A and B are shown apart, each in its own frame.
Chain A
Amino acid sequence: MKHVLYAAAALAAFTSPSYAETIAITGGKLVVGDGSAPVDGATVVIRDGSIVAAGVGVAIPAGARQIDASGKWVTPGVFAGFTRLGLSEVDAVNGTNDKSGGKSGFSAAIDIAPAIDPFRSPFAVNRSAGVTRAVVAPEAGDNIFAGQGAIADLGADSDAVAKPRAFQFAEFGEDGAANAGGSRAGTHLHFRAMLREAQDYAAGRDNFDDDLLKAEDAKALLSVLRGETRLLIHVEGANDILRLLELKRDFPTIKMVFVGVTEGWRVAPQLAQAGVPVIASALNDLPATFEMLGATQSNIGRMKDAGVKVAIGMINDRDSHQLRYTTQYAGNLVSLEKLPNASGLSWDEAFAAISSVPADIMGVGDRYGSLKSGKAADVVVWDGDPLELSSTPTTVIIDGVEQPLGNRQQRLRDRYARPTEGDLPKAYDR
Chain B
Amino acid sequence: MLKLKNALIYDPKNNKAGVKEDIWIENEKIVAEPSERKIKELKEKDILEEIDLENKIVMAGGVDIHSHIAGPKVNSGRVLRPEDHRRDNVPRKGKLRSGVGSTVPSSYVTGYRYSLMGYTTVMEAAGPPMKAKHIHEEFNDLPFIDKGFLVLSGNNYFVLKFISENNFTALKNYLAWLIDVTGAFALKVVNPGGVEAWKEGKRMRGIHNKGTSFNLSPSEILLALAKANDELGIPHAIHVHTNDLGTAGNFKTTNETLQLLKDYRVHVTHIQFSSYGKTENDKVKFITATDQVAAEINRQPKLTVDIGQLVFGEATTMTADGILEYNLHKLSGNKWVNTDVEMETGSGIVPMNYKKKNLVNDIQWATGMELFLKIEDPWKVFLTTDHPNAGPFTAYPWIIKLLMDSNYRNDYISGMHKNFDDYTDLSNLTREYDLSEIAVISRSGPAKALGLENKGHLGVGADADITVYDNLEKRDIAEVFAKPKYVFKSGRMIVKDGELITELQSGKTLMTKPDYDPQIAEDIREEFQKYYSISIDNYGVTDNYYKKVEVVPCNFKG
Is chain B a partner of chain A in the same complex? no
Q: Write the residues of chain B forming the contact surface with A, with a CB cutoff of 8 angstroms.
A: none
